[in-house]
């Protein structure tokens, strides 16, 4: 028996599109490949292959699978023959058969039979006279017969041994091993689910692997409202998402996946027509579950209650997602109105209200900023320093270096604008002390264009330094971006030190401090001969600020983009590559406009 880990390694080493292209002709379509489906006759391509997610899917006939299932379903090979052929291609040795693994696989097959029999019994109980209370509850929730049947609702009688008697064909140890019965030392085993509305929990193939039960007797205050099966050989709650087998195909078509807090929320949304919904099972969203979601959509939406508990759940999910972030893969967050779950909102305001909330979902970055900003009062310098420390602590957990750098820049920009709001007014009212200027030169625009195309970066860096000396209020906006640079003028490091101290800087003060530190060297020739708009005290303030931002982006953001473009190209991530190239083009376009403006000075 081959382990799931070994099979995952095999899949990762073989390119799915390369294997499929040996049998059918594939056409590149963005980040995927398209073709006419080989499993049914069609004239318009509806068959897609996604190497990143490792699956093929036909929107016409529903055919779906990975590289192994392609070999078995399309090529007609047995599972082991398919594995051996792919392993030879990948340079992997097929492990020798493990008798213990085979025994466990046979055991799991038997346990699936137990769970299927239990599900049929629960469903029959719901239709019996004893299931009237459960049916009344379903009616009160507004679930129609189709929804009840589709999700497999059932009922567990309020007795200790009814299930054992009903499933007498199975051994007691099997009922205990599946979590249907509880074994306690020195006591007779008894049924786990009693007096509860029952729901089956299925795996990705739609097989019942566990159950969830909602209590119907509100007077039982000592019993949990919801009770799930424990972890068993079939069920690992940290690796299972409720309703994934139904929601996955829908989400692949719509590009949307919604994660809610519980399975009743999933059913309520599905009954209202939003079928791309899943839920964790009694735990916070795990790293494994996040990766499962990313294999289907790039930015699943987490939908949490608007109360304090919901916000804590959102932050736990964000904390687990940050180390996993990679280009194009993130989370979005929806906050429901306080006191309402999805079903309440739909009943009160209609499904359109829920749809609008999903369309307006916050980015992970926005949610992180808002939560930390509002977490504590910010009335003292120490309070503000605490906010900055919390933000940076989150940033440091991000594994991808480019995403980490971009998060750091964005969050510190927000922090600076929030913590020092007066600086916006100060820089508009204070005129900076001018640096030495020379007359207009027809060579200005040509020199600047050469700089914007990649040459003389040191001169551009010196000009940015001069611009910040003239307009020190802009340092709050660009400090974090510039701090990532190396080998700059030591005057720049002094500016950063002053900024970190929270000083309200003016240009004359900065030049005096630099002089006292022995750093008042003559201005570099390049920016004393070229009239950058931001190295002039006569330029209109808004124009100067925009020009300085363009130069900073050219100098410091472009290298980050170049690394990200290389990574996207290496991964054949065309969509991400084009997005990054567009951003780089925007930066260079801003520099070209700056060159044109300089020519008119």
pLDDT digits (tens, 9 = 90+) for 364-381: 999 999 999 988 888 888
Give the range among 192-196, 514-518, 531-535 with minimum mean pLDDT: 531-535
Contact 544, 531 (CB under 8 A): no
d(CA 538, CA 509): 20
Residue 458: the pLDDT is: 66
Give the range among 481-495, 512-526, 555-569 with minimum mean pLDDT: 512-526
Give the range among 143-152, 342-351, 363-372, 434-443 with minimum mean pLDDT: 434-443
Q: Can you give the length of the chain in residues? A: 601
pLDDT at 487 over 90: no
What average pLDDT does the structure give for the chain? 81
Give the range among 72-76, 178-182, 352-356, 496-500 with minimum mean pLDDT: 496-500
Tell me the CATH class for 4-90.
alpha beta
* Angle between helices 475-483 and 401-419 in degrees, nearest 10: 160
Strand 32-35, strand 27-29: pairing: antiparallel
Most confident range, picked from 35-44, 49-58, 207-216, 591-600: 207-216
Residue 32: the pLDDT is: 87
Percent of the chain with pLDDT over 70: 83
Q: Assign 387 a pLDDT band (cuts: 50, 70, 90).
A: very high
Residue 231: the pLDDT is: 93
Residue 584: the pLDDT is: 86
pLDDT at 65 over 80: yes
Mean pLDDT value across residues 505-521: 71
Residue 428: the pLDDT is: 40
Residue 363: the pLDDT is: 94
Task: Select from 567, 557, 389, 564 the least CA-distant residue to 485.
Answer: 557
Most confident range, picked from 71-75, 175-179, 531-535: 175-179
Tell me the CATH class for 99-235.
alpha beta
Residue 543: the pLDDT is: 78
Residue 590: the pLDDT is: 81
pLDDT, tens digit (0-9, with 9 covering 90-100), for 137-190: 999 988 999 999 999 999 999 999 999 999 999 999 999 999 999 998 878 999
Give the range among 33-47, 413-427, 560-574 with minimum mean pLDDT: 413-427
Mean pLDDT value across residues 316-321: 93
Residue 8: the pLDDT is: 83
Residue 73: the pLDDT is: 81
Task: Select from 98, 91, 90, 47 the least CA-distant residue to 70.
Answer: 47
Q: Does pTM top 0.85 for this prediction?
A: no
Task: Select from 296, 297, 314 the least CA-distant residue to 305.
Answer: 314
Residues facing 228 on adjacent strands: 212
Q: Provide the 8-state DSSP code for 521.
A: P
487/437: higher pLDDT: 487
Give the range among 45-59, 124-138, 170-184, 191-205 with minimum mean pLDDT: 45-59
Q: CB neighbours of 368 closer than 8 A, spacing ≥ 6?
A: 318, 391, 394, 411
Q: Assign 136 a pLDDT band (cuts: 50, 70, 90).
A: very high
Provide the token pair at 135. Answer: 């049916």
pLDDT at 116 over 90: yes
Give the range among 184-188, 236-240, 313-317 with minimum mean pLDDT: 184-188
Residue 554: the pLDDT is: 82
Provide the token pair at 219. Answer: 């007077």
| Dihedrals phi, psi of 213, to nearest 5 degrees | -130, 135
Largest Cα–Cα separation, the chain: 100
pLDDT at 528 over 50: no
Residue 108: the pLDDT is: 62
pLDDT at 51 over 70: yes
374/590: higher pLDDT: 374
Mean pLDDT value across residues 342-352: 91
Q: Which fold has domain 256-373?
A: Dna Topoisomerase Vi A Subunit; Chain: A, domain 2 (3.40.1360)
Mean pLDDT value across residues 36-52: 85
Q: Name the strand (E) or helix (H) holding 156.
A: strand 154-156
Give the range among 87-101, 125-139, 231-245, 380-394 with minimum mean pLDDT: 87-101
pLDDT at 60 over 50: yes
Sort residue 481 into left (φ over 0), alpha (ψ -120 to 50) or beta: alpha
- Helices in 420-540 by DSSP H: which ranges? 422-429, 444-452, 457-470, 475-483, 490-500, 507-516, 525-529
Mean pLDDT value across residues 563-571: 78
Contact 174, 111 (CB under 8 A): yes
Domain boundaries, the chain: 4-90, 99-235, 256-373, 420-599
Mean pLDDT value across residues 16-42: 86
Q: Assign 434 a pLDDT band (cuts: 50, 70, 90).
A: very low
Q: Assign 307 a pLDDT band (cuts: 50, 70, 90).
A: confident
Residue 494: the pLDDT is: 75
pLDDT at 438 over 60: no
């Amino acid at each position: 028996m081959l382990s799931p880990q070994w099979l995952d390694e095999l899949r990762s080493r073989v390119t799915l599109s390369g294997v499929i292209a040996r049998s059918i002709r594939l056409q590149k379509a963005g980040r995927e490949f398209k073709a006419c489906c080989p499993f049914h006759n069609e004239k318009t391509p509806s068959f897609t292959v996604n190497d990143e997610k490792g699956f093929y899917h036909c929107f016409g006939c529903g055919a779906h699978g990975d590289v192994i299932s392609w070999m078995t379903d399309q090529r007609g090979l047995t599972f082991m023959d398919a594995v051996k052929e792919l392993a030879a291609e990948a340079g992997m040795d097929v492990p020798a058969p493990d008798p213990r693994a085979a025994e466990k696989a046979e055991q799991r097959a038997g346990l699936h039979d137990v769970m299927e029999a239990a599900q049929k019994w629960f469903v029959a109980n719901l239709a019996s006279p004893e299931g009237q209370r459960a049916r009344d509850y379903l009616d009160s929730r507004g679930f129609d017969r189709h929804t009840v049947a589709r999700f497999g609702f059932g009922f567990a009688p309020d007795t200790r041994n009814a299930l054992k008697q009903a499933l007498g064909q199975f051994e007691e140890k099997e009922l205990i091993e599946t979590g249907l019965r509880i074994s306690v030392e020195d006591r007779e085993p008894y049924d786990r689910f009693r007096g509860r509305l029952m729901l089956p929990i299925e795996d990705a193939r739609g097989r019942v692997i566990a159950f969830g039960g909602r209590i119907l007797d509100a007077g039982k205050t000592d019993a949990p409202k919801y009770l799930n099966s424990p972890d068993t050989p079939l069920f690992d709650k940290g690796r299972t998402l409720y309703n994934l087998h139904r929601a996955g195909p829908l989400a692949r078509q719509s590009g949307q996946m919604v994660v809610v807090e519980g399975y009743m929320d999933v059913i309520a949304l599905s009954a209202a027509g939003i079928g791309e919904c899943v839920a964790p099972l009694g735990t916070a969203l795990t790293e494994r579950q996040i990766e499962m979601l990313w294999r289907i959509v790039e930015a699943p939406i987490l939908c949490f209650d608007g109360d304090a508990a919901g916000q804590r759940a959102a932050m736990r999910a964000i904390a687990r997602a940050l180390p996993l972030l990679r280009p194009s893969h993130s989370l979005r967050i929806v906050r429901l109105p306080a006191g309402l779950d999805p079903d309440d909102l739909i009943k009160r305001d209609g499904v359109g209200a829920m749809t609008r909330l999903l369309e307006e979902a916050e980015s992970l970055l926005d949610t992180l900023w808002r939560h930390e900003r509002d977490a504590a009062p910010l009335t003292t310098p120490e309070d503000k320093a605490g906010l900055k420390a919390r933000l940076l602590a989150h940033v440091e957990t991000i594994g991808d270096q480019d995403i980490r750098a971009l998060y750091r820049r964005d969050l510190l920009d927000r922090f600076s604008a929030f913590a020092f709001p007066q600086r916006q007014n100060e820089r508009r009212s204070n005129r900076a002390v001018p640096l030495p200027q020379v007359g207009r030169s027809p060579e200005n625009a040509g020199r600047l264009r050469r700089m914007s195309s990649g040459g003389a970066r040191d001169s551009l860096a010196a000009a940015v330094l001069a611009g910040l000396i003239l307009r020190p209020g802009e340092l709050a906006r660009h400090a974090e971006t510039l701090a990532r640079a190396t080998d700059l003028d030591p005057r720049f490091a002094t500016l950063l030190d002053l900024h970190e101290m929270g000083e309200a800087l003016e240009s004359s003060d900065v030049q005096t401090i630099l002089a006292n530190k022995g750093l008042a060297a003559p201005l570099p020739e390049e920016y004393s001969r070229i009239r950058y708009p931001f190295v002039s005290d006569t330029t209109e303030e808004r124009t100067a600020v925009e020009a300085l931002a363009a130069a900073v982006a050219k100098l410091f953001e472009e290298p980050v983009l170049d690394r990200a473009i290389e990574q996207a190209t290496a991964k054949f991530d065309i969509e991400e590559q084009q997005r990054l190239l567009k951003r780089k083009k925007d930066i260079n376009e801003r520099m070209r406009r700056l060159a044109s403006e300089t020519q008119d000075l």
